[in-house]
């Protein structure tokens, strides 16, 4: 290797390449003393040369500089005042300046892309302020300085990694907090699927299980007739309101769908047992399963769909709407409607479902359902046929109570009394009809102007043409006052808000709603005036569908089980049946779909039922018998508007009063009918007292 002295003995042309070598680390060059002395003089020369260009232009100063630094041979020619050499020096300086700028730009780019390596980059490129000290140090000193610089960089990198670690730790802790919040929020759902929530009856494991039984047409005050010892004992062990309000209209199909959706009929779309859909241009009729059991009519998610979508098996026994394939989700078990099925068969069917293998035998796919819904139509059927105050209905009420006694006995034999939730409801009550409480719709309006008549016993009127609606309204206004004791007349827009019965196109634009106990008939199916004259008894003997808040329409709700940890005989405030869906979902540990209900488990008792056995209920009586509201066909002089009717408020007509035509035979027959009904009521009272 040539000595460093030889490297400096260069021509001016070669200077640029070797000038940069002076800035190289000393560890790459020899370190003998002679070279060190020469290097010191050369470094001084370079420093002075780069100090100021004016010094190089001054011949005297240049000579002094060369004299002070000693003979430098080739270097003397560089600093010669010769003008060509000066030009070379200027060019070299410009080139060095451009090189410095390029290096500065590279340094900035490196700093952008190399976090934590800024110090190392400056050392490697020779841009530190202490450059001269590095050049004058020995290789060992330089190594130490390099190590110190590396230590600084490593420290900075360590600090950076610590910061990153802290940031990631904070993010992880936040994620754990959010996860814990979600865990707690879904506690009820997890409970139904977690093995720790399983209950054992000694032989099998049960996930949260609820049995829902609907006693169709079971009026709330039936509990106070002394015919229901099982239900009364069930009330004493469980939690219940004095009664539960159905939804309007208080008929079977709308209310059974409300019970399993938590929605008002105007929201779920089943607005009556019969109705016309103007969009589908089809008629829904509940007794025609081929039509009514199509999913297009059922515009909501029933509970069995909610449960099955959350991996909870369901079994539905004859529930209205369960055969409609709603949402394409079927219950795990479904029993089609059979109106002739004996009550003991229903009991056995429920127990057989509970006897299916559960989680103790098949962890992946248990057969046993967790939700069982059973529909019992018997009380409603006999209430229509014989009336809610008949001797026959008393026997039917007792039979329904016996069926529940058999079910409870089967649960006790299986040690399931405190493991399975039982919820017993009804959909509505029942009112007694009479031939004296009939309104002949033909005498109120011109039926030839109507296209469809919806609902029963209330009547929704749809005109054939839009302009016919005003004509039908005018006709009702002319005769309404004569029937103010028997009917109410509303447009869809003027329907009372508490009915929640206006926000659906399936609701007819004009309604004639009978008062409780009254019925509306049309010829030729039934002629009310002729029936009075012949003494014909109107059927059905019992009707519902009236104002859902009337005492005769009150339903029941009674619950007991592990999801209802309330003191025995607890009484909760009266609520409407839109709340049942939420309660059932909570008892199963599933998340309910959006609905109109507000109650959630646990319920908040407001006290105890005072008699210790059953809710204290008044005994609502049937509407009084009055002379029939049947009347001759409407004329321009027919009496006018019903007081308090929304249509009456807008009417300016002042109809003339027309005396009611009576016959001597009609008067005598009315007295006979009143005497007969008085005797029937007296006999029923005596029987109830004996019972």
The reported pTM is 0.66
329 or 143, which is more confident? 329
Pairwise pLDDT comparison (217 vs 359), residue with the higher score: 217
pLDDT of residue 615: 54
The CA-based diameter of the chain, rounded to the nearest angstrom, is: 159
Closest CA to 78 of 6, 5, 11: 11
| Backbone φ, ψ for residue 557 (5° rounding) | -145, 120
**Range picked from 34-38, 66-70, 177-181 for highest mean pLDDT:** 177-181
Taking residue 109's Cβ as centre, other Cβ atoms within 10 Å add up to: 10
Per-residue DSSP letters for 607-649?
EE-TTSSS-----PPPPPP------PPP-TTS--PPTT-HHHH
Higher pLDDT pick, 282 / 165: 282
Reported as type and span, the H/E element at residue 342 is: none
- The full DSSP string for 51-117 is T-HHHHH-HHHHHHHHHHH---THHHHHT---HHHHHHHHHHHHHHHHHHHHHHHHHHHHHHH-TT-
Whole-number pLDDT of residue 362: 53
Q: Is the peptide bond before 219 cis (omega within 30 degrees of 0)?
A: no
Contact assessment for residue 200 and residue 210, using Cβ atoms and an 8 Å cutoff: no
Q: What is the structure's pLDDT at 47?
A: 55
Decide the pairing of beta strands 570-571 and 487-491. Answer: unpaired
What is the per-residue pLDDT across 11-60, written as a single tens digit (0 to 9) for each? 444 444 444 444 444 444 444 455 555 555 555 555 555 554 444 445 55
Question: What is the mean predicted confidence (pLDDT) over 550-570?
Answer: 97
pLDDT band for position 103 (50/70/90)? confident
Instruction: Dump pLDDT digits (tens) for 355-396.
Output: 999 876 655 677 999 999 999 999 999 999 999 999 999 999
Domain residue ranges of the chain, discontinuous segments joined by +: 4-136, 207-358+365-433+540-624, 434-538+630-660, 664-691
Percent of the chain with pLDDT over 70: 64
Query: What's the pLDDT score for residue 327?
Result: 94
CA 561 to CA 563: how far, in whole Å?
Answer: 5
pLDDT at 95: 76
Q: How many residues does the chain have?
A: 691
| pLDDT at 633 (0 to 100) | 42
pLDDT in tens, 314-329: 999 999 999 999 999 9
Q: Could you read off the pLDDT of 440-466 as tens digits, one per residue? A: 999 999 999 999 999 989 999 999 999
Q: What is the pLDDT of residue 28?
A: 43
The Cα 550–Cα 685 span in angstroms is 22
Q: What is the pLDDT of residue 682?
A: 55
When the pLDDT of each residue in the chain is averaged and rounded to a whole number, the result is 78
Hey, what CATH class is 434-538+630-660 in? alpha beta
Q: What is the mean pLDDT of residues 538-554?
A: 97
- Who wins on pLDDT, 534 or 681? 534
Q: Which of 145, 122, 125, 151 is nearest to 133 (CA)?
A: 145
Place of tokens 């390029």: 102
CA 11, chain centre distance (Å)? 90
Mean pLDDT confidence for 160-172: 79
DSSP bridge partners of 240? 571
Predicted local distance difference test score (pLDDT) of residue 393: 98
**Residue 132, SS3?**
helix
Of the residues 252, 314, 433, 638, only one is catalytic, namely: 252
The mean per-residue pLDDT over the stretch 57-68 comes to: 54
Query: Percent of the chain, pLDDT > 90?
Result: 56
Alpha helices in 414-550 (DSSP H): 466-479, 528-534
> What mean pLDDT do residues 290-303 have?
96
pLDDT of residue 163: 76
In contact, 560 and 661? CB cutoff 8 Å? no
pLDDT for res 171 = 87
Above 60 in pLDDT, residue 227? yes
Record the tokens describing residue 411, joined without a space: 């649960």
In this prediction, residue 59 carries a pLDDT of 54
> From CA 555, how far away is CA 541, in angstroms rounded?
19
pLDDT of residue 26: 42
DSSP SS3 for 567: coil
| pLDDT score at 256 | 98
* The most confident of 13-27, 136-150, 394-408, by mean pLDDT: 394-408
pLDDT band of residue 505 (cuts 50, 70, 90) is very high
Residue that wins the pLDDT comparison between 635 and 299: 299
Mean pLDDT of 425-450: 96
Q: Which residue has the higher pLDDT, 524 or 38?
A: 524
> What pLDDT is stored for residue 411 in this prediction?
98
Choose from 25-34, 54-63, 345-354, 619-628 the range with maximum mean pLDDT: 345-354
State the pLDDT at residue 663: 36
Q: Which pLDDT score, from 0 to 100, does residue 46 have? A: 53
Higher pLDDT, 2 or 517: 517
- The answer to whether residue 340 is catalytic is no
* Tokens coding 384: 């229509």
Q: What is the pLDDT of residue 81?
A: 45
Residue 559 in this model has a pLDDT that exceeds 80 = yes
Distance between CA 435 and CA 519 in Å, rounded? 9
Q: Computed over its alpha carbons, how large is the radius of gyration of the chain?
A: 49
Euclidean distance between CA atoms 487 and 517, whole angstroms: 11
State how far the Cα of 10 lies from the Cα of 18, in Å rounded to an integer: 8
> How many angstroms separate the CA atoms of 251 and 458, rounded?
10
Cα–Cα–Cα angle for 335, 337, 342, rounded to 5 degrees:
90
Higher pLDDT, 456 or 410: 410
Which structure tokens are listed for 44?
């001084």
Name the more confident of 636 and 54. Answer: 54
Is the per-residue pLDDT at 609 higher than 80? Answer: yes
Q: Is the model more confident about 158 or about 395?
A: 395
CB < 8 Å & 24+ apart, contacts of 113-119:
115/160, 116/153, 116/156, 116/157, 116/160, 117/153, 119/149, 119/152, 119/153, 119/156
Structure tokens at 439: 């309104």
pLDDT band at 190 (very low <50, low <70, confident <90, very high): very low
Q: Could you tell me the CA-to-CA distances from 478 to 173, 207, 340, 520, 630 in Å, in that order?
A: 75, 62, 47, 18, 15
Q: Which of 417-421, 478-482, 591-595 has the lowest mean pLDDT?
A: 478-482
643 vs 290, which has greater pLDDT?
290
Architecture of domain 207-358+365-433+540-624: 3-Layer(aba) Sandwich (3.40)
């Amino acid at each position: 290797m040539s000595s460093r002295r030889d490297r400096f003995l260069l021509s001016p042309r070669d200077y640029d390449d070797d000038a940069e070598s002076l800035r190289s680390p000393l560890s790459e060059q020899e370190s003998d003393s002679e070279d060190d002395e020469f290097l010191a003089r050369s470094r001084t020369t370079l420093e002075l040369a780069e100090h100021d260009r004016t010094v190089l232009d001054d011949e005297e100063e240049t000579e002094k500089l060369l004299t002070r630094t000693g003979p430098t041979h080739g270097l003397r020619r560089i600093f010669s005042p010769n003008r060509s050499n000066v030009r070379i020096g200027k060019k070299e300086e410009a080139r060095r300046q451009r090189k410095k700028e390029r290096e500065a730009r590279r340094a900035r780019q490196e700093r952008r892309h190399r976090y934590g390596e800024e110090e190392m980059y400056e050392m490697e490129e020779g841009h530190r302020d202490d450059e001269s000290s590095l050049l004058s140090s020995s290789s060992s000193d330089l190594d130490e300085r390099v190590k110190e610089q590396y230590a600084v960089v490593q420290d900075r990198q360590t600090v950076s990694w610590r910061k990153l670690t802290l940031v990631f730790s904070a993010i992880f802790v936040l994620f754990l907090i959010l996860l814990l919040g979600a865990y707690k929020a879904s506690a009820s759902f997890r409970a139904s699927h977690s093995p720790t929530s399983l209950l054992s009856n000694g032989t099998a494991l049960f996930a949260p299980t609820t049995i829902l039984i609907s006693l169709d047409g079971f009026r709330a005050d039936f509990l106070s007739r002394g015919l229901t010892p099982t239900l009364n004992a069930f009330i004493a062990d469980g939690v219940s309101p004095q009664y539960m309000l159905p939804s309007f209209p208080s008929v079977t199909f709308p209310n059974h769908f409300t019970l399993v959706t938590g929605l008002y009929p105007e929201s779920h779309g089943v607005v009556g047992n019969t109705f016309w859909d103007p969009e589908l241009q089809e008629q829904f009729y509940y007794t025609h399963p081929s039509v009514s059991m199509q999913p297009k009519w059922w515009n909501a998610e029933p509970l069995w769909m909610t449960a099955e979508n959350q991996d909870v098996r369901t079994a539905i026994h004859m529930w209205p709407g369960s055969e409609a394939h709603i949402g394409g989700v079927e219950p795990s078990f479904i029993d089609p409607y059979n109106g002739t099925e004996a009550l003991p068969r229903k009991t056995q069917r429920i127990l057989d479902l509970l006897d299916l293998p559960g989680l103790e035998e098949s962890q992946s796919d248990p057969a046993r359902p967790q939700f069982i819904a059973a529909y019992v139509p018997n009380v409603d059927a006999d209430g229509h046929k014989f009336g809610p105050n008949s001797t026959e209905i008393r026997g039917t009420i007792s039979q329904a109570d016996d069926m529940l006694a058999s079910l409870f006995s089967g649960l006790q034999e299986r040690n399931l009394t405190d493991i399975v939730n039982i919820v017993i409801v009804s959909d509505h009550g029942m009112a007694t009809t009479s031939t004296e409480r009939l309104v002949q719709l033909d005498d109120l309006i011109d039926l030839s102007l109507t296209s469809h008549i919806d609902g029963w016993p209330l009547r929704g009127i749809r005109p054939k043409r839009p302009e016919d609606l005003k004509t039908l309204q005018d006709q009702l206004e002319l005769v309404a006052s004569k029937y103010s004791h028997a009917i109410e007349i509303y447009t869809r827009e003027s329907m009372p808000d508490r009915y929640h019965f206006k926000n659906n196109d399936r609701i007819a634009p004009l309604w004639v709603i009978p008062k409780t106990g009254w019925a509306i008939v049309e010829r030729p199916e039934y002629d009310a005036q002729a029936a009075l004259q012949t003494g014909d008894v109107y059927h059905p003997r019992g009707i519902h569908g009236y104002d859902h808040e009337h005492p005769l329409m009150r339903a029941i709700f009674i619950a007991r089980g592990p999801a209802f940890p309330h003191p025995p005989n607890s009484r909760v405030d009266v609520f409407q049946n839109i709340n049942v869906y939420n309660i059932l979902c909570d008892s199963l540990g599933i998340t309910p779909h959006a609905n109109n209900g507000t109650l959630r488990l646990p319920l908040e008792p407001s006290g105890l039922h005072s008699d210790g056995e059953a809710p204290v209920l008044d005994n609502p009586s049937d509407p009084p018998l009055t002379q029939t509201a049947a009347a001759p066909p409407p004329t321009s002089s027919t009496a006018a508007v019903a007081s308090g009717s929304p249509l009456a408020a807008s009417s300016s007509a002042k109809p003339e009063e027309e005396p009611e035509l009576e016959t001597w035979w009609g008067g005598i027959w009315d007295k006979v009918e009143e005497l007969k009904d008085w005797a029937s009521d007296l006999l029923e009272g005596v029987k109830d007292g004996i019972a």
